[in-house]
Amino acid sequence: MSRIVSVAPVLPARSYPQQEITTALLGMITPDPKRQAVMRRIHASSGVETRSLVMPLERYSSIASFQESNDFFIAEGTTLAERAITGALASAGLEPADVDFLLFTSVTGIAAPSIDAQLVARLGLRPDVKRLPSFGLGCVAGAAGIARVHDYLAGHPGEVAVLLSVELCSLTVQASDDSMANIVASGLFGDGAAAVVMVGDERAEALGLPGPEVVDTRSHIYPDTADVIGWDIGGTGFRIVLSAGVPDVIERNFAGDARGILAAHGLEVSDVGAWAAHPGGPKVLEAFAQALDLPEGALDASWRSLARVGNLSSAAVLHVLAEQLDAHEPGTVGLLFALGPGVTSELVLLRWAAGAAQAPAAIGAAA
């Protein structure tokens, strides 16, 4: 089994209270007082208290083109990416030259060469590092990235891999668009990044680092849901598609997926001691909890992340995981999951493992 040995969540330096963001965006999105009142109400009920943004608030209304916002994504996203990977490797006691595989994901900007390619020289990664940039998975990509890195490490048990997520969601807010989807998105999504260092089982044994092992993964794309979440890509960039039906999709489908991956390992919902749910918004978190009949407080880490930084798309569930990485005893079962365009779900079954210093003495060993 692969092991997650460090997670480094990073945020832009600028952080604003939710009410200040709302006030700054009102005139940019709509001049209609009635729609502005709707926007204030939606933002106030989002569960978000603060968000970090890559640009000063006053600059968003002056973005003239998709090229301008995407250029900003590349410049600022690369800086955040460098911070995330540097922090994650340092926490694991590893160097950039130790990285064998790098999976990069984002759905809020594009570049060729991609950001991960630009990081090779900038960080001192080996020139033969294997890279896989990913676009289009959206909010599910944090969970999917862990799953795909796990798949890779199953065939390369002695290697080190990094999952990198960079999401600058604020750059996708559309000016002069008072659709409900844009109003909701402008009050929910924030900017951030995260890097996850994972190692194959042979490397995990050699390093002796504690952390959750990936026991199993599941992917499921739900039929007839392609128009529920996604982008409408045009001249102004990424215009969000966000249906009010997301909670219904969760309530109809998610319990079977979650209970199925647990049952495959002789587990039930009550056996899970660590929950890392994608903080997609209040209705999404409530739907997850209702679908699995979770006890009160089970998703507190996700609610806290939503309040502190908003929905960070693919990086969101990684920020939730980071909070819990050192909070559980060896043997604790965890379930990490997210939804994204498709609609697609990704679930990762975890079990916390002891490091070399934590490992209990063998039975019969001398005291």
Residues 339 and 190 in one domain: no
Q: Are 150 and 211 spatial neighbours (Cβ–Cβ below 8 Å)?
A: no
| Residue that terminates a domain, selected from 169, 187, 207 | 207
Look at residue 194 and tell me whether its pLDDT is greater than 80: yes
Residue 82 has phi, psi (to 5 degrees) of -60, -45
Look at residue 13 and tell me whether its pLDDT is greater than 50: yes
Buried b (16+ CB within 10 A) or exposed e, 298-315: bbebbbebbebbbbbbbb
Residues 218 and 271 in one domain: yes
Can you tell me the mean pLDDT for 178-194?
Answer: 97
Q: What is the pTM of this model?
A: 0.94
Number of folded domains in the chain? 2
Q: Residue with structure tokens 């390619």?
A: 117
Q: Which has the minimum average pLDDT: 87-96, 266-275, 355-364? A: 355-364
- Per-residue pLDDT of 198-232, as tens digits, reads 999 999 999 898 999 999 999 999 999 999 999 99
The conformation of residue 58, written as its DSSP 8-state character, comes to: G
| Residue 363 covered by a domain | no
Dihedral angle, C-alpha 277, 281, 287, 289, nearest 10 °: 40
Q: Are strands 160-168 and 101-105 parallel, antiparallel or unpaired?
A: parallel
Radius of gyration of the chain (CA): 20
Residues 315 and 277 in one domain: yes
Residue 358 binned pLDDT confidence (cut-offs 50, 70, 90): very low
Give the catalytic positions in this structure: 139
- Per-residue pLDDT of 221-261, as tens digits, reads 999 999 999 999 999 999 999 998 999 999 999 999 999 99
Residues 187 and 263 in one domain: no
Q: How far apart are CA 130 and CA 134, in angstroms?
A: 13
| Residue 292 covered by a domain | yes
> Per the structure block, which two tokens stand in for 147?
């799953």
The confidence score (pLDDT) of residue 16 equals 98
Residues 90 and 33 in one domain: yes
Residues 333 and 186 in one domain: no
Structural domain of 90: 3-207
**CB within 8 A of 90, min separation 6: which ones?**
none
**CB within 8 A of 42, min separation 6: which ones?**
180, 183, 184, 187
Residues 327 and 198 in one domain: no
| Residue that terminates a domain, selected from 207, 231, 246 | 207
Own/partner long-range contacts of 27-34 (Cβ < 8 Å, ≥24 apart): 27/61, 28/60, 28/61, 28/173, 28/175, 28/176, 29/173, 29/174, 29/175, 29/176, 29/177, 29/178, 29/182, 29/183, 29/186, 30/176, 30/178, 32/178
Closest CA to 80 of 41, 38, 39, 108: 108
Residue 357 binned pLDDT confidence (cut-offs 50, 70, 90): low
| Residue 365 covered by a domain | no
Can you tell me the mean pLDDT for 253-275?
Answer: 97
Residues 32 and 116 in one domain: yes
Residues 86 and 140 in one domain: yes
Can you tell me the mean pLDDT for 125-132?
Answer: 98
Q: How far apart are CA 106 and CA 355, in angstroms?
A: 32
| Residue 80 covered by a domain | yes
Residues 227 and 120 in one domain: no
Residues 345 and 293 in one domain: yes
The confidence score (pLDDT) of residue 354 equals 87
Q: Output the domain CATH number for residue 344.
A: 3.40.47.10
Dihedral angle, C-alpha 178, 181, 186, 189, nearest 10 °: -170
| Residue 361 covered by a domain | no
